Structure 1
Amino acid sequence: EPVRAYERAFARWNASRHAFAFGKGRVALSGIISAMGLGPGDEVIIPGFTCVVVPNAFRFAGVTVRFADIELDTYGPSVDAIRRLVSARTKAVLVHHLFGLVCLDYDRILDLCHTRRIRVIEDCAHATGARYRGQRIGHFGDAAFYSSEHSKVFSTVQGGMATTNDPELARGLAEFQRSSSPLDPGTLSRLLRTCRKDYLTNAHPHRALIRHPAALCMSSSAVASTTADEVRGNRPDNYRLSLAAPLAELGLSQLSKLDSLNARRRRQAAKWREWAEERGYGAPWIAPESEPVFLRYPLTVPAAVKRRPRVIEEELGVECGVWFTSPLHPSPERVEGCPNAYTAVETCVNLPCLVPE
């Protein structure tokens, strides 16, 4: 069965004991929350610079979310900010590896949580394949989740994976997965058309000739990754989805290419670093003994440049990403006590790393 084969392949590739596929990365996170038994009365600490779907997953389970400010070297959660928020109700801390960078305070956060007997959830949505001290990230906490949405490091158009080495959490994830709903045929068909459109507009040998007609003919078939209801903090009716077999087959194909694609990203990141240093832009910090994957290459630029990213786009001929445009992107919700998150909103842009060599 394709989904089971995909899970086994991902577990082998990632050196994980257990892997469980879901319809989205946020659903994989929800599975981890369920497996950990988190619910009303519990608190979790997460970075105050993230996608809104991350706090949503906890809130949908009745968990109270506390936001820790980030550091501005890798945009990861600050261990000092986490320490100030820890209470008797804190049951888990979420650590993310934004843009594919291993976060600056990784070791110190793990040590703090181990000492306080707090669970660690790793958000590897941007960082599938990144390594730290010879191991792929996701192995240092209690459980990890990954995204294979089409803008991530590898793509099943939409999809996610949860991993753990803990047999008790694995049993909880398996139970959560069994009670998830299948993707309806209409949505699956639209996702597969989205995959075809991406190929025609980005990878086809004659893409320059067909890009605009393909986009015009297929734009109505695209499936939004995050709905307007989710941005407002409402749980969609079809939230808890399993991964469809055709998308799992796509994942199997993508996995076989992922290490070579990540190597390409690292080569391009080295070029962006040199370019940024020549112009006085801030480049990200790279943790010793780490091997990032660079979903995108983040830069610290003057706020005026972020407001006018075409300055960079016209020079380089590539898209200059401006997300995150709010601390809980793309939600306008305010996050208190996170000044660095707002600095990042004003000054952080990102460049693509998977470009033709």
Structure 2
Amino acid sequence: MKKTRFTHRIPLLNNTLTQENAQTAINCISNTEQYMGATDSLHDVIGQTWDAAFAASFMGGRASLYAIVQALGLQPGDQVLVPAFTCQCVTNAFSFNGVEIVFVDIELDTFAMAADALKNAITPKSKALLIQYTFGLVCRDIDVLLQTAREHKLWIIEDCAHATGGTYRSQALGTLGDIAFFSSERSKIVNTIQGGWVITNHPQLGESLMNVYAQTPLPPDEYINNLLYTVYRCWQDAPQSKQALAAGWLDEAERLTGYQTVPQMMTAELSGLFTEQYRWRMPDSVSQLLLQQLQQLPAIVRKRSEGAAFWSQWADEHNIRRAHNIDSANSTWLRFPILVDAEHKRNPKALADELNCDIGVWFTTPMHPQPLDLPHCPNGMYAAQHCVNLPTWLPDS
């Protein structure tokens, strides 16, 4: 393969953090500003952006999904249909509530649930369908998935963790089903290190959601400050900070002592154990960061679409199988997925060095990162063995 044009290593994470975000984090840690009322403002902005009657923010996409499970009133023994190419954060939110997960095979054009497989997976115990926009791609079978769910009277949950700002037939993703959640984790379209939110226009679900939200506590101050410290540290390490740091802006790192960066997943989560983060709502300081990030959303989606166009041409030139955007879809292209041989998946560093960019391995199993063998989901297993993903936040030409 020919080397790309990049003059520096292209990262997958923390692409959209700004100097304003870093300053906000420092302001909050130092108590010079607390941004009182930011969460109420955030909910107003979310409602306006997605034309949603109800909005509630939590401390993660996983916490948002956990709240949805409670708002839907799903009970132990109920079944939810989930694509066989997902993350343990998703499955935890169900299993922590005793809900049974039924994995459904995917298709390899958009790495989303396959409609035929869904029809064969529904049982009398099925109560909800999770439509996941993997890598920000609108599902190839989206119309049939929605129709099938409605025919069987299933609640439709849209997983927009990768798809903030996407549309289908000019309708915002997150408004096609009954209820939806989004993420602002550091690997996502917008970034507050951890965070997420839920929207719905369903009156019954909206009332239930707001009841759940009212009973959800804020995180401990120690966690909030560690998250804010992580915002600063991640911005400091990102390519976009170099010019400001070289000019001597906010050289305060040495004074920020006693804080720790927060991990993407807690150790307990990886063991399938409940953590309190699944039951936290978003504080004003993080809401202020998310408000700032959402102001950039149209430009972010546009830039990622440009990155996807670059990789589409590159993949076609090298005869590499890639994902495809369906008609009438404005996908967000959080990452650009390609299918490579199993050795490149097992050893992504070689390809990363060759391309001079970070390589993502979402997902290494149908329930990443936990080992899981699903013989009835051959496409999900194949994707886990062969799919790698490229960064779409690329430098301007």
Q: TM-score, normalised by structure 1?
A: 0.94
Deviation at 1:305, TM superposition (A): 2.1
Larger RCO, structure (CA 8 Å, separation 6 or more) = 2
Asked whether 1:323 is paired with 2:359, we answer no
Which residue of 176, 192, 198 maps to 1:140? 176
Q: Look up the match of 2:264.
A: 225
Pairing of 1:1-357 with structure 2 (within 5 A)? 1-202=37-238, 203-206=240-243, 221-357=260-396
SS at match of 1:94: strand
Deviation at 1:7, TM superposition (A): 1.1
User: CA–CA distance in 2 between the matches of 1:49 and 1:238?
Assistant: 23
Q: Sort the Cα spacing of 1:303 and 1:218 in 2 relative to 1 into closer, same or farther, 3 A.
A: farther
SS at match of 1:239: helix
The total of aligned residue pairs comes to: 354
SS at match of 1:299: strand
RMSD of aligned residue pairs (Cα, Å):
2.0
- Letter of the 2:327 partner, please give it: P
User: CA–CA distance in 1 between the matches of 2:378 and 2:361?
Assistant: 18
Structure 1 contact 200–207 (Cα < 8 Å) conserved:
no
Structure 1 contact 194–218 (Cα < 8 Å) conserved:
no
Structure 2 contact 88–368 (Cα < 8 Å) conserved:
yes
Q: Look up the match of 2:29.
A: none
Deviation at 1:231, TM superposition (A): 1.5
SS at match of 1:204: helix
Deviation at 1:324, TM superposition (A): 1.1
Q: Which is worse superposed, 303-312 or 268-277?
A: 303-312
Q: Look up the match of 2:28.
A: none
User: CA–CA distance in 1 between the matches of 2:359 and 2:392?
Assistant: 11
Q: Which runs of 5 or more structure 1 residues have no equivalent in the other structure?
A: none
Structure 2 contact 217–280 (Cα < 8 Å) conserved:
yes
Q: TM-score, normalised by structure 2?
A: 0.85
User: CA–CA distance in 1 between the matches of 2:79 and 2:365?
Assistant: 23
Per-residue CA deviations over 1:317-337 (Å, capped at 9, x if unaligned) read 111112211211111243452
Per-residue CA deviations over 1:281-337 (Å, capped at 9, x if unaligned) read 111121110011111111111222223323432232111112211211111243452
Q: Sort the Cα spacing of 1:60 and 1:201 in 2 relative to 1 into closer, same or farther, 3 A.
A: same
User: CA–CA distance in 2 between the matches of 1:164 and 1:237?
Assistant: 24
- Letter of the 2:82 partner, please give it: I
SS at match of 1:91: strand
Structure 1 contact 296–350 (Cα < 8 Å) conserved:
yes
Structure 1 contact 17–165 (Cα < 8 Å) conserved:
yes
Structure 1 contact 193–218 (Cα < 8 Å) conserved:
no
Structure 2 contact 308–333 (Cα < 8 Å) conserved:
yes
User: CA–CA distance in 1 between the matches of 2:76 and 2:202?
Assistant: 23
Question: Deviating runs (4+, > 6 A) in structure 1?
Answer: 207-210, 217-220
User: CA–CA distance in 2 between the matches of 1:220 and 1:69?
Assistant: 43
User: CA–CA distance in 1 between the matches of 2:319 and 2:90?
Assistant: 33
